[in-house]
Structure 1
Amino acid sequence: MSQGSAPRYPMVLVPGMLGFIHLVLYPYWYGIVEALRRGGAVVFAVQVSPLNSNEVRGEQLLARIEEILRETGADKVNLIGHSQGSLTARYAAAKRPDLVASVTSVAGPNHGSELADYLHRHYAHDSLKGRLLSGLLRVINALMCLLDTGYHGPKLPVDVHGSHHSLTTEGVALFNQRYPQGLPETWGGHGPEEVNGVRYYSWSGTLQPGKTDRGRNLFDGTNRSCRLFAKTFVREAGHCDGMVGRYSSHLGTVIGDDFPLDHFDIVNQSLGLVGKGAEPIRLFLEHAARLKAAGL
């Protein structure tokens, strides 16, 4: 990406569930922020509650957007959300479209996650197994907060049940009734390109034998986790990234939904140990140029 192809507005990267900015020195958006900045883009990787509802996270994001606008003097921002971060970004844009130029969903569960549905059925929050899982997530969250060297704000609230319910098919259906902007009218289709002055985009990946299970992914433990999680999918069996279904991810203009990337590879996590032929950073650079071309 050349200096001339940098977007007009700052790019704000919003993490998913159990997200962070830096765990000690390790960034959530591994190599992506630096690549975008080298191309001249103004980029902010932000933090919201790692475990909470879309609405709570969305209000936190709105407060952070206002800070960024004051700091940069920009009129709007381009939001890019990964996983639950996509729903968080959608909420912010629906509430304050005057502050948002675009929303881009990267592997976002815009119609819910079948993995979340499976956990809801087998690990109900009021069951013993559910309470044990909730306790484990709280411990992981507390440890990650201690290790996050990129966030220096106030302590963020935790709501494990709210976070989980916000990702189920039922929970996202309720969310979509309130905030339908950018959603396709038909399953697997494209959504409207622009709503209330906000442009909507999405892309996602799928697990592909011969690609996502080879290359550097042979040394990537998260890829093995995604392959295990994929076994919980029924409606989109064989068409998911391990956590989000191919068609469930659709929002606005669908840039692609079958890139050879699992749910973590798509933001270049695990030190960039991605599968055969995968180039997640290139997708972000191309999108920055796309936003620039659209005047965003």
Structure 2
Amino acid sequence: MTFRKQRTALITSTALAATFAASTATAGLFDSVFSWGDDRGYTETEHPIVLVHGLSGFDDLFGIVDYFNGVPGALAEDGADVYVPQVSAANATAVRGEQLLAQVQEIVATTDADKVNLIGHSHGGPTVRYVAGVAPDLVASATSVSGVNWGTPVADAAASGELDGLGDIVFSIVDGVSGANLPQDTGAAIESLSTDGSVAFNQDFPAGVPSEYCGNDGAREVNGVRYYSWGGSDVKTNLVDISDSLLAATGTLIDEANDGLVPACSMKLGQVISTGYKLNHLDTVNHLFGLTSRNAADPVELYRQQANRLQQAGL
């Protein structure tokens, strides 16, 4: 069992975050120490919520630093049953998808749940789409957050393969520190996230995908699975957030509105909640240190809103 179940009490982490850079920059932050007031039941969904990390991601580091910083605890505190699986930090979408599928099957087999609500960030977007496509009977909804659904020029630029060996080493370290021993394949991950790789994936898994790039006509429900998406289109959102500089550099490779790693148009899937939040790619998982634009939506609150949206839909 490689997934982690979030307890119903809000967990506070007190460890310094680590920053990782390989074709993306990730890293952690403390879990949010925040009370959501009298909202008990606000995030309680019919089916468990499963949060799926992106490229170079993890469930948690050293058992204390969450990839989805502050999100699992905030969801659980107000009623959600939350699981945080770990899949390969870097690998092909299908490989990550099969790893996730095995954990979803285990969640269903060991609880009274018959389906789950999948929420994937970045490469986690296509990863949850894979599971929804091959096992729709186990999935109530698939939500893509800053998802690479039509590829990204950042992956196109990294497709030379020169960094594959180094990437495998870095991602293996991330994987090991987070307590797993999963295979890493940087080249396969980059290919999956490239424009050509993503278009090929969409041909096999078209559910929720708009009829054309940047379209808004993606099916909202396919084979009983509801599809949602949201993300941001700002890059430098806080002057004291060191990760913003890295995203500003990668963002120059994209000649349209983007979050530093993914074009806003590439994020669209199913019911598009918004791809225009004043958040960058790491802000949408509340990193680093929860530093976002002063006028930006609270990332943790956006996950809570999505949980409530699922609740209202009977999911």
TM over 0.5: yes
Alignment correspondent of 1:15: 53
Counterpart contact for 1:205–1:246, Cα < 8 Å: yes
With over 3 angstroms needed to count, the CA separation of the structure-2 counterparts of 1:53 and 1:74, relative to structure 1, is: same
More helix by share: 1
1:49 corresponds to: 88
Match of 1:143 in 2: 173
Which residue of 1 is the match for residue 156 of structure 2? 117
Determine the structure 1 residue equivalent to 2:261: 243
Q: Which residue of the partner structure matches residue 85 of structure 1?
A: 124
Per-residue CA distance 1:187-239 (angstroms, 9 max, x = gap) = 3222111000000000010116xxx43xxx222111111111110013x2xx0
CA contact (8 A) 2:144 2:269 kept: yes
Identity fraction in percent: 42
Q: Which residue of 2 aligns with 1:182?
A: 208
Q: Secondary structure at the match of 1:247?
A: helix
Q: Select the residue among 196, 203, 223 that pairs with 1:196.
A: 223
Shift of 1:61: 0.6
Distance change >3 Å, CA 270–CA 5, structure 1 → 2: closer
* 1:2 aligned onto 2:40: yes
Question: Following the alignment from structure 2 to structure 1, what is the Cα–Cα distance between the partners of residues 266 and 42?
Answer: 34
Q: Tell me the distance in 1 between the aligned counterparts of 2:42 and 2:145.
A: 24
Pairwise CA distance, 1:145: 2.3
Q: 2:245 aligns with which of 220, 224, 230?
A: 224
SS at match of 1:270: coil
Unpaired segments of 5 or more residues in structure 2? 1-38
Q: Tell me the TM-score normalized by structure 1.
A: 0.90
**SS of equivalent to 1:13:** strand
Which amino acid is 2:186 matched to?
A: V
Q: What is the CA–CA distance in structure 2 between the aligned matches of 1:11 and 1:218, rounded to whole Å?
A: 33
How do residues 26-41 of structure 1 correspond to structure 2 at under 5 angstroms?
26-41=65-80
Superposition deviation, residue 182 in structure 1: 0.5
Runs (4+) of structure 1 moved beyond 3 Å?
none
Residue equivalent to 2:184 = 158
**SS of the counterpart of 1:3?**
coil
CA shift, 1:139, in A, is: 2.3
Q: Deviations over 1:1-42 (max 9, x none)?
A: 431551110000010011101112211010000000011100
Quote the Cα distance in structure 2 between the aligned partners of 1:280 and 1:247: 20
Give the C-alpha shift of residue 254 in structure 1: 0.3
Pair 1:232–1:80, CA change in 2 (3 A)? same
> SS in structure 2 opposite 1:90?
helix
- Work out the number of aligned pairs and report it: 274
Shift of 1:269: 1.6
Q: 1: distance between equivalents of 2:101 and 2:69? A: 24
Q: Deviations over 1:242-279 (max 9, x none)?
A: 11001110000000011011100001021211222221
Counterpart Cα distance in 2 of 1:263 and 1:53:
20
- Aligned residue number for residue 266 of structure 1: 284
CA distance in 2, matches of 1:283, 1:76: 22
Q: CA deviation at 1:147?
A: 1.7
SS of the residue corresponding to residue 311 of structure 2 reads helix
- Gapped runs of 5+ residues in structure 1? none
Query: Which AA in structure 2 matches 1:197?
Result: G
Residue identity in the other structure for 1:175: F
Q: Residues of 2 paired with 1:111 and 1:254: CA distance?
A: 14
Determine if contact 1:5/1:293 at 8 Å carries over to the other structure: no
Equivalent residue number for residue 233 of structure 1: 254
- 1:134 counterpart = 2:164: yes
Q: Is the 8 A contact 1:13 1:43 kept in 2?
A: yes
The partner residue of 2:271 within 234, 253, 260 is 253
Q: Are the aligned partners of 1:192 and 1:253 in contact in 2 as well (CA < 8 Å)?
A: yes
Q: In structure 2, what residue type is equivalent to 1:10? A: P
Contact 1:206 1:258 in 2 (8 A): yes
**One of 200, 208, 233 as aligned partner of 1:206:** 233
What is the root-mean-square deviation in Å for CA atoms of aligned residues? 1.3
